[in-house]
A = this chain, B = another copy of it.
Amino acid sequence: MSIKPMIWDDSVLRMLDQRVLPAKETWLELKTSDEVVNAIKTMAVRGAPAIGVAAAYGMALAAKNGEGREDAGARLTASRPTAVNLFWAIDRIKSLPTWNFDAVLSEARAIEEEDLAMNHAIGRNGADLISEGWNILTVCNTGSLATAGHGTAFGVIHTAHDDGKRIHVYSCETRPRQQGLRLTAWELLREGIPFHSIADGAAASMMRAGKIDCVIAGADRIAANGDSANKIGTYSLAVLAKHHGIPFFIAAPSSTFDLRLASGDLIPIEDRDAAELTHIEGVRVAPEGTQVFNPAFDVTPGDLIDAIITENGVYHRPYAF
């Protein structure tokens, strides 16, 4: 039942290809750090904690193949710019006393196991904020696929459901890449959690109609003042939640915090390829010549976030971690 987005298997990183879910369950077999870089860049694996784990195993493959530690670290670091868990995991591996396959693999396994444990703790801490009968709005995919398992925002939903609370989820599609419609729906179906998928633009009128009791999202990087970068559209939901008096929560492990940054204005936001919007399943839907602005993330100011749920507990405004 438990979903894992990647499995270390002898000397190969087996990775569930999230680009083709839910239509196909295809497992990639990655044998070099460059293959891991490519998997992160092309989003075969995505989700801030999951790319941290993938990068750690990428370092293990680099050590195994006799690559230089700095070189492998630099290539993996350059794979995506916004999620800080990626850099955190690479730095952790790089700071090992020796550049040795067994040691690196052991640390990568530890990063994976700790992430899973953190997500269960996040779920436990967050579930106490969720009341019986609530309709919970979420965005993107923050489930097992986005982490080492259980999930962050999804982990809170997961734990509340496991606690026997009657909850119902509204899952935003999350254009352009539709992680909500494709991946979160897939996980919710597997877990047997009741839900409806909605278009991103439908969230506001559902709030106005009193159909949403809280919003919960993940994060790719959290600055020292609580400003949180997450999937494009998250900030929109935070403003809408504020307007409608609905609590807005962020759930993330401590590896997501970047306390060197005073505010979210300093978080680099990745612009992705126009084809993510103009093409679907390889078919062009926009007319030839259409220019696109396609930021992958936005930043929600801490003052719109009612609680930040971590493995260490629940933080409230004003944020000081």
Contacts and interface: CB of A to CB of B under 8 A. Distances in A.
A199 interface: yes
A261 interface: no
B181 A286 contact: yes
Categorize the interface residue count of chain A: 35 or more
A298 B181 contact: no
A198 B199 CA distance: 15
**What's the number of copies of this chain in the assembled complex?**
2
Contacts of A203: 236
A12 interface: no
A319 interface: no
Given A204-B239, A206-B293, A240-B239, A287 B199 contact: no
A205 B298 contact: yes
A284 interface: yes
Given A200-B233, A202-B233, A181 B243 contact: no
A298 B240 CA distance: 14
Contact of A174 (B23, B201, B204, B299): B201
A290 interface: yes
A263 interface: no
A287 B201 contact: no
Per DSSP, chain A at the interface is mixed
Contact of A281 (B198, B242, B283): B283
A242 B244 CA distance: 13
A218 to B, nearest CB: 15
Interface in A264-300: 277-278, 280-281, 283-287, 289-295, 298-299
Given A239-B239, A278-B181, A283-B281, A200 B197 contact: no
Interface stretch (A2-10, A33-41, A66-74, A182-190): A182-190
B175 A292 contact: no
A76 B22 CA distance: 39
Given A201-B175, A204-B236, A280-B280, A196 B291 contact: yes
A204 B233 contact: yes
A178 interface: yes
Given A197-B277, A277-B199, A235 B290 contact: no
Interface of A: 22-23, 139, 170, 172-176, 178, 181-182, 185-186, 189, 195-206, 208, 231-236, 239-240, 242-243, 277-278, 280-281, 283-287, 289-295, 298-299
